[in-house]
Amino acid sequence: MPVDTILWENDNLIIIDQTLLPEKLVKKKLDTVEDVWEAIKKLRVRGAPAIGVTAAFGIVVALKSIEITDRKIFDAEFKKISDYLASSRPTAVNLFWALDRMAKVLENNPDLSVAKIIVKLTSEAVAIMNEDKTVCRQIGKFGSRLLPSKCTVLTHCNAGGLATADYGTALGVIYSAYESGKEIKVYADETRPLLQGSRLTAWELMHSGIEVTLICDNMAAKVMSEGKIDVVVVGADRIAANGDTANKIGTYMAALCAKYHNIPFYVAAPSSTFDLSLESGKKIPIEERAAEEITCGFGKRTAPEGIKVYSPAFDVTPAELITAYITEKGVIKADQIIDKLK
Ligand code: MRU
Question: Whole-angstrom Cα distance, residue 68 to residue 265?
Answer: 51
**Residue 213 belongs to a domain:** yes
At position 100, the amino acid (one-letter code) is D
| pLDDT at residue number 14 | 98
**Residue 89 belongs to a domain:** yes
| pLDDT at residue number 258 | 98
Give the neighbor-by-neighbor strand order of the sheet with 6-9: 6-9, 12-16, 27-30
Both 305 and 258 in a single domain? yes
Question: Whole-angstrom Cα distance, residue 28 to residue 22?
Answer: 15
Q: Which residues line ligand 1 (CB under 6 A)?
A: 43, 46-49, 92, 157, 159, 163-164, 168-169, 196, 235-237, 247-248, 313
Confirm if 278 and 240 have CB atoms less than 8 A apart: yes
**Residue 293 belongs to a domain:** yes
Both 71 and 161 in a single domain? no
Both 94 and 165 in a single domain? no
At position 191, the amino acid (one-letter code) is T
Both 312 and 183 in a single domain? yes
Both 211 and 82 in a single domain? no
3-state secondary structure of 191: coil
Ligand 1 atom nearest to 51, measured from its CA: 4
Ligand 1 atom nearest to 248, measured from its CA: 8
Both 118 and 182 in a single domain? no
Both 194 and 270 in a single domain? yes
Q: What is the pLDDT along the chain (342 residues), one digit of tens a residue?
A: 778 999 999 999 999 999 999 999 999 999 999 999 999 999 999 999 999 999 999 999 999 889 999 999 999 999 999 999 999 999 999 999 999 999 999 999 999 999 999 999 999 999 999 999 999 999 999 999 999 999 999 999 999 999 999 999 999 999 999 999 999 999 999 999 999 999 999 999 999 999 999 999 999 999 999 999 999 999 999 999 999 999 999 999 999 999 999 999 999 999 999 999 999 999 999 999 999 999 999 999 999 999 999 999 999 999 999 999 999 999 999 999 999 998
The reply to whether 275 belongs to the active site is no
Domain boundary among 116, 137, 158: 137
Domain boundary among 95, 117, 137: 137
Question: Whole-angstrom Cα distance, residue 78 to residue 111?
Answer: 15
DSSP H or E stretch at residue 96: helix 93-108
Name every residue whose Cβ is closer than 8 Å to that of residue 218 and which is 6 or more positions away in sequence: none
Both 160 and 116 in a single domain? no
Task: Given the residues 217, 237, 244, 315, select the one marked as catalytic.
Answer: 237
Where residue 66 sits, what CATH number does that domain have? 1.20.120.420
Give the neighbor-by-neighbor strand order of the sheet with 265-268: 211-215, 183-189, 150-155, 231-234, 265-268, 324-327, 330-332
Domain residue limits at 114: 6-137
Both 321 and 252 in a single domain? yes
Both 94 and 167 in a single domain? no
- Nearest alpha carbon to residue 173 among 206, 202, 207, 148: 148
Both 158 and 109 in a single domain? no
Between the CA of 226 and the centroid of ligand 1 the distance, in Å, is: 28
Between the CA of 182 and the centroid of ligand 1 the distance, in Å, is: 26
Count how many domains the chain has: 2
Between the CA of 40 and the centroid of ligand 1 the distance, in Å, is: 12
Q: Which residues pair with 28 in a beta bridge?
A: 15
Between the CA of 74 and the centroid of ligand 1 the distance, in Å, is: 33
What DSSP string runs through 9-30? Answer: ETTEEEEE-GGGTTT---EEEE
**Residue 1 belongs to a domain:** no
Mutation test residue for ligand 1: of 5, 40, 46, 95, the one with most atoms within 8 Å of CB: 46
Domain boundary among 78, 111, 137: 137
| pLDDT at residue number 3 | 84
Both 164 and 266 in a single domain? yes
